[in-house]
Amino acid sequence: AQSVAQPEDQVNVAEGNPLTVKCTYSVSGNPYLFWYVQYPNRGLQFLLKYITGDNLVKGSYGFEAEFNKSQTSFHLKKPSALVSDSALYFCAVRDIDRTGGFKTIFGAGTRLFVKA
C-alpha cells in the first residue's frame, strides 16, 4: 500500500528565510504525489503535484517541491517564508489500485510557524 511520512510535527522559520517541509513516500510503481495546505478554520487547499517529468514542481503561493526518486522524498520548499505561510501542511500520495486510484493517502501533517 502507498504511504507518506512527515517526520517533523512542527517547523519553525524566521520570515525571509528559506523553508523546507519534509516528506518521504513509499509506493509500488510510479508515485503521484501532492502537497496540500490547511489554514485555520479553512478547508484543505491544493498546492502542487508531481505526476511525471521535471523533478522540481512549482505550485501556488511561491511554493515548490523537489521529487527525489533515490531518496523517496518529496520535500516542500519556499525560498523566502512569509508570516502568512504559517499553516498545517500535508503531503499526500494517490493510491493507484486496479480501479485507477481514487484514494488519496495523507500524511499526519507538519505545522509551519513563520516568525516575524
Partner 1 sequence: DTGVSQDPRHKITKRGQNVTFRCDPISEHNRLYWYRQTLGQGPEFLTYFQNEAQLEKSRLLSDRFSAERPKGSFSTLEIQRTEQGDSAMYLCASSLGTTYPNNEKLFFGSGTQLSVL
The residues binding partner 1 (CB under 8 A) are 32, 34, 36, 41-46, 49, 51, 90, 92, 94, 96, 99-109
Minimum distance, C-beta of residue 53 to partner 1, in the bound complex (Å):
12
Minimum distance, C-beta of residue 102 to partner 1, in the bound complex (Å):
5
In the complex with partner 1, which residue's Cβ is closer, 44 or 82?
A: 44
| Cβ 13 vs Cβ 76: under 8 Å | no
Cβ partners under 8 Å of residue 50, min gap 6: 31, 32, 33, 34, 57, 65, 67, 74
